Each structure stands twice: as structure tokens, then as C-alpha cells.
Structure 1
Amino acid sequence: MEKYPLPFKPATLTLAIASVLLASQPTARVYAESTLSPDDHWSCEASPDESGWQCTAEPMEPGVMNRAMRPVAPAVTKSARKKASSETTTVVTSDSRANLRETLDWVPKSQLSENEQKALDQATPWCTGDYSEPSRPGKNFTGNSDAAPIIAESDESSFGQNDIGTLTGNVSIRQGNRQIQSDTARMNRATNYAEFEGNVVYREPDTLLVGDYADMLLDSGRVTIKNASYAMHGAHARGNSEQIIRNEDSSLVLEDASYTTCRPGDESWLLTGNNVTLDPNTGFGTARNAVIRVEGLPIFYAPYMYFPIDDRRQSGFLYPTIGSESENGIDFTLPYYWNIAPNYDATITPRILSRRGLLLENQFRYMNASGEGEAGIAGLTNKDKLEKENPYYDQERWLANVRYKQRFSERWTAELDYADASDKNYIEDFGTNLNLSSSGPLNQMVGTRYLGGSTYNNWTFSLNAHQFKNMSQTSDDPYNKLPQLVFSGNWQAGETLQVNYLADYTQFSRDKDWRFVKEIQHPDFGDPDIRESVYDEGYGIKRAEGGRAFGQAGVSYPMQTIWGFLTPEVKVRSVNYSLNNLVASEVINDLQGAYGQSVIDPNDFTKSPNTAAASFSLDSGLYFERFTDLFGTDFTHTLEPRAKYLYVPYVENQEFNPIFDTAAMGFTYGSLWLDNRFSGYDRIGDANQLSLGVTSRLIEDDGFERMRFGIGQIVYFQDRKVYIANNLGYEKVPAEDIDENFVAMDERLRNELTDPTSPLASEFIYNFNRTMSVRQDFSWNTNDNRLDNYGLYYRWRPEQRKTLNLGFRFRDQVDRYVQDKDGQNIQIGTDQNGNPIFETADNNVKQTDLSFAWPIPATTHWVGLGRWQYDLTNKRNLESLAGVEYNSCCYQVRFFWRSWIETDDNIDHPDPKSGVFFQFILRGLGNITGSSGTEYLQGIQGYEIHEK
């Protein structure tokens, strides 16, 4: 072919294609890497002697262009390119391009920039490197690449009369943020078609394609590369392919391809397929005749597979999970995600349980401008096939839930949260991916709330109907609230006077048989290990149902300065009941047995009890500060004494009030400043007391609290009279199947009501730094010289993969009864009245808790996991967990052993359980073994489960 050399030296690295395209597009705007004015453009034509081209800068003509062609940059001298490359880019030679097939832009951690290393340590500290595209012209281009000029460079170039241009040596063509390089290239001016041979490299943001041969349509950007390797930096993925087609929309179509998230050179797992598509626009990939191999061994096949390549959602099959359990057998799950619309989606999950049958779980989510919600249903499509130790054999098993939040306006909202199940064991037997607000008990609630008023006079009204589905086999049913109306608010009258108020009406009810009595052998099965829970209607005051109206109003006058505060407050509380389901004789016997006959007058019994009391409190405190230097660090050292006087008169006959949602609260340092020693509204605690306490802090200049210490005590000016007896609701005292010694517990409680002071309570927190802290809480009974509560906790989390937790807690309790294997108290005699005397044992809580997740020394990827909870009182392991976790950039393996005791097990005859759990996760494809016990690892505080 006859060649026409350009009028400048080949070593100047200009483009033959620049003049070719400009000659055919004389009106196209040119953006040159030179001093050409933005208002000018290059005009080129063949020289008269046909020895080359003559180009001149001419003014841009106004008007509409006839063709929307891509502009081409003019010549760039070799010296100018070398200067620019030395300043901003890395020169890419043929040899370096050849090495790209092996590295694919993977850079070892030690060679990354400081910022890149920090980001890697924070996100994936187990990775030994990361993909990092080198600097190049156009890398940071942010405009429209399709409209950007085409810029080409090479060592040598020539152009023939047949519209074919040839570029040789370090060929580079770029447009916007796209770039293709090769050893040689041929371009057709008429068709804008180009072919590239030898060490072909195609780049665009997050995508690298490397091959031996490529062809490209310059108008559309479509590229085909043969014998290729690729990397998708954002997806942390790479692979090989016989042929890769990069479509105009940036999607990739690969023939006979592989896909993995392992670093180059590591093929721990591979997904292979005859035809693979990777679409960064949707965030998903597909593979036909897909095979997943782990260490070269095929472990999974699917004729068609749909998998994510980023975190976006798209319709298709998600990764399957497979596992094995002793009760369910082989457990195989294949979810299908349906992206119905931007604001609607659904997940349909068929699940094969070899010992139970086929289970389907369907979840639908939706969102609109004023609300959002979801609905789900799950269950066996057949009757339960498991016979061994299964009380629900040959029965239908299902679970359903609906959740919805509606915003009618900025102030008015409504909510629905309803879940139900076929039986109490469903979640324990099958688990669920449905989004339940609570798994025990299940919520069944509908309500609405309105926020009214203004900044200085705000109020809230809510109306709810709340029912609970008890999912425990060994606990009482909770009360339902059908309905509950609450009106509350705060009014700031003037600059300092504040008025707060609350009104609450609730109707309490529950099933007739609500109280758990015991477990017995199921009468419908001959297997003694199949148990049935026995419930009854309860006894005495605890059978109460009905309505409760509670009202509270208070006026306070807070006065605050930089050196202290003083807040007087007057408050009135009232509670009224309208009760049913009570038997007068039962209630009298129950209350007299718990509180004593001298306290309970049968004539005071009523189904409409009421209690009202006014209270007065005066809360005050001082702030003292000084600057100090400790261990070379400047601190603000505070001393904050506080005193609060509280008076609440005693209101008698509160024993006749039911106990709907009320309990005595444990005593801590925070208890010093409460107005009521009971939670809920069923008791108004009498008080004539002065709380005294002091807090001291060390605060650094940036606000970090290095240390906080508080200690205080309540001085009582009169004995307390209101309390809740433990021995309520039992006809026979003491009950033979309850291991708690209620009589002794109530005796201690009554003695504490006459103490002149409360326990001495303290809290201490010291933060050695932002990753290590120690906390201590205790309450010391100064009247009986007894430690009531103590807790000591140490936390250290220096890095993401490192956490160490040590804890010890103690609580003094009266002795409990010893039980036999059937759960009956062991009788050792009778008292003078013929009542049984049961064997007792120490019941103090003395427990240690050690947990950790820590990299194994001399390794990069291995992490040791462990937790040990031990009951020092009863000399038993509550939980033991030991395992290891392996993390790499492409997969994760987690293996651990766990032994545990259920919280409702017989203390004297526990039934320890144990299991081995294994989890294998392919990063980028997901978990192929199910959850496999990861919920048990949540007890390791500070440990984070990473599965992406």
C-alpha cells in the first residue's frame, strides 16, 4: 500500500486520525492540548503535492452543526507529552501493558498511598492490597465522554489513500475518561472503525480490559477484545474470557468466562459460565451453565445464575444457601428477588428441608411519598413431616407479618405492626428472614399519633391497640392493651415556669389460661421428650383485667446558672381502675397470704380501687471546676454535689391495685434522683427522703470525658410502706414447683423498708483512651453491712478486628429451693404447722463473662473467637464458645463450637446443648451455608460480622 507521510516527524507522536476526522468534519469543535483558542477550530486539507496535510486555525462558524461528530485534538509534540507525563501520569510502555494481564491494577498494600492504606484498613483490614488505577490523562474527566474529543498518540503513524491509517508503537487513543492502548492500530476514516493488536489495554472508570486483539467503533464506543482478562475495581472482581464485548452502555458480555473476587493469582473460588454478563448500570451479573468451584472442586451448578456485583437491587435469583441441621436435615434455599418498581420489591424464598418438607417465605416491601410498609408470609406447603420429638408433627406450620407506617401530615402518623404464627415453636424450629419487630412475644399493634401545639406549648395524643402473641413455652402471657389512649404535653408558661401533664387510659386483658404452671409429657405422643406446657387462669389479684385511668400533672420552676441549679416541683398523680375477672375470696386470701392478715381488711376489697397522691420535690446542684494537669494532659476537673428532697404521702390500700405493668426497680446511682421507686402506674411509692450525691469528672479540652465517678445515698425520714409482694398469685404457699423462696424474699423486702438509709450506690467509669475503658457499679447495704450489687466490666477495642471484654457481676439474693428432675422442690421435712420445708441452696448471682475476637499471632487472615460465661454459684458453664474465622478479600470461613444452657432450664438438672457451626462465604456471591449460628456471635461485644 502506498503511504503518504505526514509533514512532521513521526517521533512527534501526533495522530493521523486527528487530521483524517477533521477533514471529514470541518465544523466540529476542537479541544486541543495546546494554545488553540476555544473560539477557533482546526481546518486541515491535503497539501498540493500530496506529501502531507496543511492545518490552520480558523474562527468557529456560528450555527447548528450538520453532524454531531466527535472532535479530534491536533498534534502534540513528543517533548510536550514527555513533560506532561513526568508531571501527572505514569508512562505506560508495551512491557508494562504486558504485565497488566497478571496484575490487573492490583497493588500490594505496602505500595498504596497513605490514604489508600487507611481506607483499606478501615474497610477490609484482611486484604493484602487493592485495585488502584494508575494516573493517566483523562482519568479524572467528569464530563460526557461521548462528546469529548478523541486524542490519539503513537510512536509512528501513516495514512493511505484508501482511508486506512496505521499507528505503530505505544498506541494510545482516549476520549474523555476512556482510553485504549496497543502495540499497533489500524483505523478506517470512512467507518470510524479501528483494530488494535498486541498488548491491548482498554480503560474506563472502574473497568480494565486486557487482551491480544481488539476492534472498536469510535462513534459508539463498542469494543470487542479477544483472549481477554478483566478487572472491575469497584466490584473488586476480575476474571478471564475468550472474548469480551464492551457495549455502548458499558455492560460487558463475556464468552467462556470466569468471575471471582479473589486477588490476581489467587483462584480460591471461581464462577465460570458459557455466557456471562456484567452490567454496572444495574449492579448485577448473569451466567449461563454456571459452575462455582472452590479450590478447583465444583461445588454448585445452575443452568442460569443471577448474582450481584454491587449493593444495588435488581430482579433475579440471589445466591443459594445450603446447610444441615439435626432436626431439619439438609436445608437448601434459593431466594428470588423481584425489583417490581423503584418503590416496590419482593423476595420469594423457596426452602427445601429434607426432614420437614418445602417451606416458602415471601416478603413484599413498598414505599410511597407518605408511607412505607411490608408484608410477609412463610410456612410449610405440606404438613410437618418431622416425627421425632416434634409436638407439631403432621400439622400446618406458618408465620405472617404486616408492618406499615403512614404519614398523613408532618404531625399526624399511623402505624400497623402485626405478626402471628401457627405455634410457639415456629421461629425456634425454622427461623425467619421476615422483618419482625419482636420475636418473643410477637407484636400485634395498630395505632396513631398526633403532635400538636407549638414550641412553648407542645402536646401529643396517641391511640393504640396492642396485643401480644406469647412465643415462649415456659412463661406467662403478657397483658394486652386494647386499647390505650395517651395524652401528654408540656407548657412553658413564661421564661422559667413549666407545666407538664399526662393522661393514660388503658384496657388490659389476656387469654383465660395465661399463667404457665409446668411442662408435662405430651398426652398425644408416647415419647417422654415431647413436652406440653400447662397453663391455668391464675389466682387472686393477678387474675385482674379491666380498665386503668392514670393522670399526672406537675408544675416546676427550674432556675439555672453557670454555677448550679435549683428546681422545685409540685406534682399530682392519680390512678383509677374498673376491674373484672376477680373472685373476692381469692383476692383476700391471696393478699393476706402475701401481706399479712393485719394489713389486709376484707372490707376494703373493691373492683374499682383508686389511688391519688400529691408530691413535692426540690432538686439542687452546684458546679465547681478547676483546671489541672495529670500525666502531661490538661483536664477540666469538676466537682458536682447534688441534693434532692422528695415527699410523697403514703396512700393506703394500694395492695388492692392490680399489677398490670409495674415492678420495683433495681437500685443504682441513677435511682437516687427518681420520683417513684416503681416502674409503671400501678403503685405510687411513699417517700420522705433526701438524696445526697456527688459526681466528679475529668474532661479533656476536646470534650472527651476521661473519668466519671459518682457516689450517693438516700436518707429516709420515715419508713416506706408501699411494696409489691413476690408471693402474689399462688394459692399454695410456698408453691411446690417454683424454686424461688418468695417468703424469704418478702421478709427481706419488708426489713429494707424500715432501713434509715438506702444502699450506698456508686458508679465509676474510666476511659484510658477512646478504645479502652473500665466501668464499675456497686450498691452497698450499710444497714446490714452487705454488698447488694456489684459489676466490673473491661472493654478494649483497639482495632476493627480486635475486641476483648471481661466482666463480673454479683447480686445478693435469698436462697432458692432445690428441685428434682421433674421440677418439684425437694421436701426435707415439715414445720410445726405441717407446712413443707424444702431443701435450699445459695442463689446469689456470681457470673463471669469473657469474650474476645482477636487476630491469631503471626497470621494475617485468621481471627480467634471465644466467649465463656460461667456461673460461680452453681458451678456450671452458661455458655462456652470457641472458634476461628478466616478472612480474605475473596472469601470468609467461620467455624466454631458452642455449648450452652437455656435460661429456663432446671438449675439443678440442666440440659446442656451443643453444636458445631460452619459458615463459608464467597465475597461478591454471598453465604453458601446459611446463617449457621452467626446470631450467637453477637454476644461478643465489639465484634462485627462482615459478609460482603
Structure 2
Amino acid sequence: MNFKHLCLYSTLLATSPTLLWGSDQGNYTGSLDSCPAGDYSAIKYSPPPIFPADSIESTDVSAEQVKNAGKSVSTFSGNVVIERHQLRLQADTVTHNKDAQKLELNGNIHVDTQNMALSASSGWMNLETSESEFKDSTYYLPEMGLTGNTPLFSISDDKSTILQDTQFSTCPTNKLDWHMDTGWLELDQSTATGTAKHTVFWLSDVPVFYIPWIQFPLGDERRSGFLMPGIGLTNKSGFEFSTPWYWNIAPNQDAIITPTHLRKRGAMLATEYRYLTQSSRGNLDFEYLDRDKEFNDRRYLVHFENKSNLTENLNLNLLVNDASDSDYLQDLGSSINVVNTSHLERNAKLDYKNGAWNAGLMVQSYQTIDENITLDNRPYKRLPQITLNGKGELAEMDNSYLLGSLDTEWTEFEHENTLKAQGSRFHIYPKLSLPIEGNAWFVKPSAGYIFTQYDTTDNSGNDANLDNLGLSVFSLDSGLFFERDISESPFLQTLEPRLFYLNIPFEDQSLNPLFDTSEQDFSFASLFRENRFNGIDRVGDANHLTLALSSRIINKETGRELFNMSIGRIYYFDDQQVTLNTNDPVNTSDSSDIITEIGGNLDLWRARATYQWNTETNTSDKRSIQFSYAASDEAVFNIGYRFHREEIETENLEQTDISFAWPFAQNYSLLTRWNYSLTEERDNETLIGLQYESCCWALRLVSQRYITDDLDDPYDTSIMLQFVLKGFGSISDKDATSTLKHAILGYQPDY
């Protein structure tokens, strides 16, 4: 059982002498509008006026009375309002010294700027330098939803703001669930930096931790510095302590460097580097243990991804994944997707696009992580693969056009098992189509020729001397469209019968290698495909007719589809002799299974179902159903079931899946997923969490347990804690949000 990142931050921060927060710390980006109206009524904000360019330096003044004391001093009293560009001042009394360009303000002072509102009992302002000072002030930052108070609020001539003994929070003033008390706070606009000294964080009336010194960015500017540290405890690594440091390298580059101490394993260094240029973007993630005390060797994990636009038509993509050993993800992975990864891919792709043509050059290999995969069943390397594809109109005809396409590929295959077939494969497939259509019908005849050539060795390393494969392909696709109005409703129903005929002659392919070809999953879409295999090492012989029928219900006013149903079946005129493997039986049936797919969308409800019926055995070979309800991005419910029959009954896949995120009381939500295997009578994944969210803070605690390939310890369990101060940032396990989005379909939390 693994307990990951259950953090004790109060202890950490209380003993931290200096803490510098970087900006890339997962700040809450959701709305603060859930705070009850009127809770910020102690200080209201009204946007200040924006003067035209030719009036920026002007000042408008209104008051009930004006008294002049000589030529340089004027006193305004009674509902005084002074407005300048992006500034509004209100007070009971204002004294203006023209020589000093200074305003003395007293009584019910209120100031509105572009991003702040402030109320005070007294103060002064220099109109020329914008220096100012206010006493007994309350301020409000509407963009952050932050409010606070301070006995002294001052702005210097260098545009830095100093607040002494200030208290601030994003909570409503009448319900301070959390707040911070700071002895001295400086907001420096010139460096976009905030600095605070002697800060105490309070939950309600309880002090939680003390920070002697803290620095943070103002606005969206990034700044180098330490992020929130993390503490964890796992059965595989023991006590974990990490101190991530954010490095703002340049405007287009940054990195997070995280030294981590793992008690059972030693010191680990993790680095996440990102870059963005005019033509490229990418990231490099690297984890390294110099000596794993449990594994007794060095260990590492590398992920690099780059996408570059070399020219307007030429693109380069790079992907590198590498692990020091096959057990790395099992020992140090943190989610079900990572832990159950079977292969790590590496590739380099060069693509050129020019109009209807697309050329590509790729090299690709894999590192097999799952040691249960035998050597023979591991994927081939492509060293390299060259492709050329094109599609476009060749000639216009009456009410139609002649469409041509060309698919070409040459690939050199290598395998780590030298006893398997190795060598190259050349494939070319030119095709002509003549689509003819009307308002309620279409007919599309197509004809093509598949040519495949192998230059490979056999299992003994000798030249295999394989015959070239040449096959003609003819298909005829046709359909009708009927529709009718549903009486006394804004809906119409369609009826769409479709016929698809395919003819490909038989040619023995049993000696050809299987470089990248597999069986295709049977679905409604596969009824209309030319090849029943994925890949080109096998081209299925065909002389069959597909009969299908679809129906939809559509809202005529909005075009939205409310319901759809499709059913279809293939009728074979000849046996299907081409098989994936030599020992596979030939399909002598006169028809395929019947496949049905149904979908529905009704307001907040979604439904999807698939049913495959085998008429020879009178059993269902595949069935699935999924119901989803989404009241919002954070209130969703899903229930599903799926079954897939295998040749060996004990290997059938049959699972149920229930997940939801649902508010069950004011501010409280329950987060749950349960994926259960009926075949194996065991849980595949369970997740349960409790969330509390107010308008100014949120707390989420989630426990997840999922199956792994580790025979000694088949389950991993993690506990994730997420604590968010809205507008300030979060203390959390970095995988908490992504885990919930993956586990609960449709769930899109704000943090």
C-alpha cells in the first residue's frame, strides 16, 4: 500500500527560515462568485473613469462647499468627489495645497483605482508624484476577491506600496474561514514582486503556521523560487521529502527542479523543463537516482517531446521515452496509467505537406516495460518508414467528379529477436472513386489496386523469397435518406438505409510476416471498411454485401441530434480464407454478427449502447452500455457495463463501472469511482473522496486503489490531499486533479 504526498505543511513552514514562492504553483483559476452577495459590502468597488487621451491630465472636482485660504489652499467639504484618469477620490473634507500639489483627506475616504478599492479615516495624496498615505484602511482587490485591513497604507514615489500590520483574505469579511496576518508587506510594481515579513496563517481563530519571510509575484508574471514542499510515505520508498524549485530561465523557458529524499532508496532529482520558440515547443522530464538502495543500482526515467515547424510545409516531431529498468514504473509510478504501461515509445517524424500531398519520414522503436510480454510478441522497430500519400479531384464530370488517391509506404523492420523475420516492405495503393449524389441519395463506386512487396529473411536468417502481393479492390457504396416530421413537435426523424458491396480476390498470404498487423475490432464502422485487418501485412479477401439501417431524431430548429440508432450485418458470398495466423480457422459463415449501436442526448443526459449478436451460437459476443448525467462540470454521474467474449471463457472481459462527483450538502461533494471485473471477481480500481468548497477555500481528500501487474503486491493505494486558498494557490498532490479527471468521466474541477 502506498500513501503518497499526505503533506504536513504547517510543520514545514514553521521551521523554514526563508521561503520564496514561484508563480507556477497551480493557482486556483475558478470563479469566486460563489461568495454570498453583500459580504464585501464593507467596501464597495466602482470602476474609476477612463478619460480620453487629450484629457488624461485633467481633474474634475465636485463638492457642496468650497473655501479658499489665500491663493494656494482650497478646502472642499460635503460629498467631495475628485476624478482623474483611472482614479476616483471621495471624502467628507479635502484640502488642496496647489503649491505642494497635495491633498489632505478626512472622513469617509474612499478610493477607486483600476484594480483596487480602499476606504480609510484620513490620509493624504500628492497629485504630482502619486505618493499617498492612508490610515485605518480597508482595501479590496476585485480581481482576486481579496479584502484586508491595515492601520497604515502608503504608496511611495517609486510606485511601491507598503502595508503595516495588515490582515487579508479572500473570504467574506463576515466569515473569515482563513486569513493571513503580516507585520510588513511591500508590493513593488516596478519588479512585480510582493514581499512579506512575519506572516501567520490562520484557520478561523487558530494559528496554523508562521513564515518569517516570503516573496511572491504580482499578477501573472513568473518568478524563480521555491514552491510548496512535499512530504509523503510509501511502502516502496518509505518517507519522502521534496523541495521543488521553480526556475524562470527566460520568457520562453522555465523549469521545476525537485530534489527528493526517499528514505528506503536514497536521493532523487526530478527536473521538468519547458521551452517555446517561434518555430518549436517541447518539454523534457527527467528523474534520476544515483543509487537506489533497494535496487542496488542507479535508476532513471526520461521523457522528451518536441514539435517544430521547420518551414510552412515541413514539420519535425520528436518523442523519447526511456527507463533504466522494467520495474521503474512499478516501483516509482504514481497512477494506474503509468504503472500499467507496457511499452515506452521513441520516434522521430518528419512530415511535408503541400496541397493534396503528404510525405513522411519516421524512425520508431519501443522499450518493453511489461516483462510478461514474450520476446516474440514485442513490437518491431521501423528504421525507417517513408510514406507518400495524396488525395484530390482528377476531373469534373456531370453532377460529379473523379476522385483519386494514392497511399505509398516503404519500411525497414527490425526485431530484437533475431529468429523473427526481418527486412523491408513496400506498399502502394492507387484508387479511383466516382461519387454521385442527390438530395436524398448517393452512389460511390471505387476501384483500386494493392501491391505489396517484401524483401525479408525467414526464421533462419535466409532470404524468404516471398511472392509479391497484388490485389484488385472494388467497392460500391450507396444510400438513401428519408425524413419525416414528428407531428406537433420541432423534431424530425430520418431513415437511412445503406448498401456496401466489397470485392477483393483471395491470395495466399500465410507466408508473409506480421510486422504491424492485427485483428480489427468488430463495430458498426467496420461494416464499411475495405480491410478487416489493422495493418497491411494481411489484406482480407472479400465478396460480401453490407446491409445497414440508421435512424436519427433531430431538432429542426437547432440541428441538435437527440437520438440515433444503427444496425447492420455483412452477408458473405464466399468463405473468408485469409487469416491473421496460419492456424486460425477459415470463416465459412454466410453472414457476420449483427451489430447495433444506440446513442441519445437529452438535455443533461447522455446514453450510449452497443450490442453484437452471434446468430450461430445465439449469444452476445459484445455488449456495452453507458449512462451519463452532467448537471455541471463538477456534478456528474456515470454508470456503465461492458462485456467482450474471448475464445477462452475464463478470459472474457466483463466489467461494471460507476463514477460520480456529486454535492450532497451545502459546500460538500462526494467523489467516487468503482470499476469491478465480474470475470475475475475483483476490483480493478476504487476511488473515494470527500471535498469541501467554500467561496474562498477548498479541501479535497481522495483515496485511490488500483490493480497493477506486480504479482507480489497486486494493488497500489494512494492518498491525495489538496488544500486550496482561492486566489493564492494550493497545497496538493500534483496528481490529484489529473487522477480525478481520468477516473470520473466528464468531471472538470476548477482546481
Residue aligning to 1:884: 690
Instruction: Give secondary structure in 2 for the equivalent of 1:666.
Output: coil
Separation (CA, whole Å) in 2 of partners of 1:154 and 1:335: 56
**Structure 2: distance between partners of 1:922 and 1:489:** 54
Deviation of 1:261 (Å): 2.4
Take 2:486 and 2:676, find their aligned partners in 1: how far apart are those partners? 42
Distance 2:245 2:642 in 1: 47
The percent of aligned pairs where both chains have the same amino acid is 31
RMSD: 3.2
* CA deviation after TM superposition for structure 1 residue 159, in Å: 2.2
Identify if the C-alpha distance between structure 1 residues 635 and 425 changes in structure 2 by more than 3 Å, giving closer, same or farther.
same
- Match of residue 500 from structure 1: 405
* Superposition deviation, residue 334 in structure 1: 3.7
Provide closer, same or farther for how the CA distance between residues 231 and 354 of structure 1 changes in structure 2, counting only shifts above 3 A. Answer: farther
- Deviation string 1:217-245 (CA, Å, 9 cap, x unpaired) is 11132322233332211122222334323
Maintained 8 Å contact 1:272/1:287 = no
Which of 398, 412, 419 is residue 314 of structure 2 equivalent to?
A: 412
Partner of 1:518: none
Q: What corresponds to 1:940 in structure 2?
A: 744
Q: Which residue of 2 aligns with 1:525?
A: none
Q: Does structure 1 residue 797 correspond to structure 2 residue 630?
A: yes
Alignment of 1:235-254 (within 5 A): 235-246=144-155, 252-254=161-163
Q: Unmatched 5+ residue regions in structure 1?
A: 1-120, 513-536, 586-604, 729-745, 817-841
Partner in structure 1 of residue 675 of structure 2? 869
Residue type at the aligned position of 2:370 = S
Give secondary structure in 2 for the equivalent of 1:374.
strand
Residue 230 of structure 1, aligned match among 139, 156, 165: 139
* 3-state DSSP of counterpart to 2:490: strand
Q: Secondary structure at the match of 2:452?
A: strand
Residue equivalent to 1:210: 119
1:468 is matched with 366
1:664 match = 519
- Choose which of 911, 917, 924 in structure 1 pairs with 2:720: 917
1:609 deviation in Å?
A: 5.3
Q: Is the 8 A contact 1:763 1:778 kept in 2?
A: yes
Partner of 2:451 in structure 1?
574
CA separation of 1:281 and 1:658: change in aligned 2, threshold 3 A: farther
Indicate the residue corresponding to 2:615 in structure 1: 782
Taking a change above 3 Å as real, the CA distance of residues 913 and 679 of structure 1, as seen in their structure-2 partners, is: same
Cα deviation 1:271-300 (Å, max 9, x = unaligned) = 444433446787763333444343454545
Cα 1:308/1:131, change in 2 over 3 Å: farther
Query: How many corresponding residue pairs?
Result: 710
Task: Report the AA paired with residue 538 of structure 2.
Answer: R
In 2, are the aligned partners of 1:235 and 1:310 still within 8 Å (CA)? no
Per the TM alignment, residue 145 of structure 1 is displaced from its structure 2 partner at its CA by 11
In structure 1, give the amino acid aligned to 2:404. V
Higher relative contact order (CA 8 A, sep 6+): 2
Paired with 1:144 and 1:218, the residues of 2 have a C-alpha distance of 18
TM-score scaled by length of structure 1: 0.69
Amino acid at match of 1:849: D
- Relative to its length, the structure with more strand (as a share) is 2
Match of 1:447 among 346, 349, 363: 349
Counterpart-to-counterpart distance in 2, 1:626 and 1:122: 45
TM-aligned CA distance change 1:128 to 1:468, over 3 Å: farther
> Residues of 2 paired with 1:779 and 1:849: CA distance?
20
> What one-letter code is carried by the residue in structure 2 that aligns with 1:508?
F
Of 358, 381, 387, the residue aligned with 1:480 is 381
For residues 679-707 of structure 1, the C-alpha deviation after alignment (integer angstroms, 9 at most, x for no partner) is 01111011110001011111112110011
Given the alignment, which residue of 476, 484, 487 partners 1:618? 476
Cα distance in structure 1, aligned partners of 2:236 and 2:51: 57
Q: Which moved more, 1:702-711 or 1:233-242?
A: 233-242
Classify the secondary structure of the residue corresponding to 1:252.
strand
AA matched with 2:588: T
Q: 1:511 and 2:314 equivalent? A: no
2:292 corresponds, among 374, 384, 397, to 384
Q: Structure 1 residue 890: deviation in Å?
A: 2.2
Q: Deviations over 1:65-113 (max 9, x none)?
A: xxxxxxxxxxxxxxxxxxxxxxxxxxxxxxxxxxxxxxxxxxxxxxxxx
Higher helix share: 1
| Residues in 1 aligned to 2:160 and 2:331: alpha-carbon distance in whole angstroms | 43
Does residue 718 of the first structure (1) align with residue 574 of the second (2)? yes
Q: Which residue number corresponds to residue 549 of structure 2?
A: 694
Corresponding residue number in structure 1 for 2:4: none
Which amino acid is 2:591 matched to?
T
In the TM superposition, residue 796 of structure 1 has moved relative to its aligned partner by: 0.8
**1:307: Cα distance to partner?**
3.5
Q: Give the number of the structure whose alpha-carbon radius of gyration is greater.
A: 1
The TM-score with structure 2 as length reference comes to 0.87
SS of corresponding position for 1:757: coil
Residues 401 and 420 in structure 1, CA contact (< 8 A), matched pair in contact too = yes
1:257 paired residue number: 166
The Cα offsets for residues 499-546 of structure 1, whole Å up to 9 and x where unpaired, read as 11111112222434xxxxxxxxxxxxxxxxxxxxxxxx7xx7xx2332
1:149, distance to aligned residue in structure 2 (A):
2.0
Alpha-carbon distance in structure 1 between the residues aligned to 2:739 and 2:491: 41
Task: Give the deviation of 1:333 after TM superposition.
Answer: 3.8
Q: Distance in 1 between matches of 2:589 and 2:575?
A: 7
Closer, same or farther: CA 283–567 of 1 in aligned 2, 3 Å = farther
- Equivalent AA in structure 2 for residue 611 of structure 1: L
Preserved contact between residue 308 and residue 924 of structure 1 (Cα < 8 Å): no
- Residues 425 and 223 of structure 1: CA distance in aligned 2, closer, same or farther (over 3 Å): farther
Q: Is the Cα–Cα contact under 8 Å of residues 321 and 927 in structure 1 kept in the other structure?
A: no
**What amino acid is aligned across from residue 622 of structure 1 in structure 2?**
L
Question: Residues 650 and 581 from structure 1, CA distance in 2 versus in 1: closer, same or farther, beyond 3 angstroms?
Answer: closer
Change (3 A) 1:244 1:333: farther
Which residue of structure 1 lines up, in the alignment, with residue 300 of structure 2?
Answer: 398
Q: Aligned pair in 2 of structure 1 residues 584, 383: CA closer, same or farther (>3 Å)? A: closer
- The 5-angstrom pairing of residues 300-449 of structure 1 reads 300-307=209-216, 310-380=219-289, 382-385=290-293, 387=294, 392-393=295-296, 395-430=297-332, 441-449=343-351
Whether the 8 Å CA contact 1:901–1:910 is kept in 2: the answer is: no
Whether the 8 Å contact between 2:48 and 2:112 is mirrored in structure 1 is no
Q: Distance in 2 between matches of 1:315 and 1:211?
A: 35
Q: What is the distance in 2 between the residues matched to 1:466 and 1:291?
A: 54
Query: How far apart are residue 210 of structure 1 and its match?
Result: 2.5
Residues 576-617 of structure 1, C-alpha deviations (whole Å, 9 max, x = no match): 2233472389xxxxxxxxxxxxxxxxxxx9264542211110
State the shift of 1:424 in Å: 3.4
Task: Find the aligned partners of 1:255 and 1:151 in 2 and give their Cα distance.
Answer: 32
Q: CA deviation at 1:625?
A: 1.8
Pairing of 1:671-690 with structure 2 (within 5 A): 671-690=526-545
Alignment of 1:771-850 (within 5 A): 771-815=604-648, 842-850=650-658
Q: Distance in 2 between matches of 1:440 and 1:162?
A: 86
**Partner letter of residue 853 of structure 1?**
A
In structure 1, what is the equivalent of residue 435 of structure 2? Answer: 558
Distance 1:774 1:283, change over 3 A: farther
Conserved? CA contact 1:323–1:930, under 8 Å: no
Cα distance in 1 for residues equivalent to 2:54 and 2:241: 46
1:926 counterpart = 2:729: yes
Shift of the 940–912 alpha-carbon distance from structure 1 to 2, 3 Å rule, reads same
8 Å contact from structure 2 (residues 635, 662) kept in 1: yes
Q: How many angstroms apart in 2 are the aligned matches of 1:379 and 1:488?
A: 42
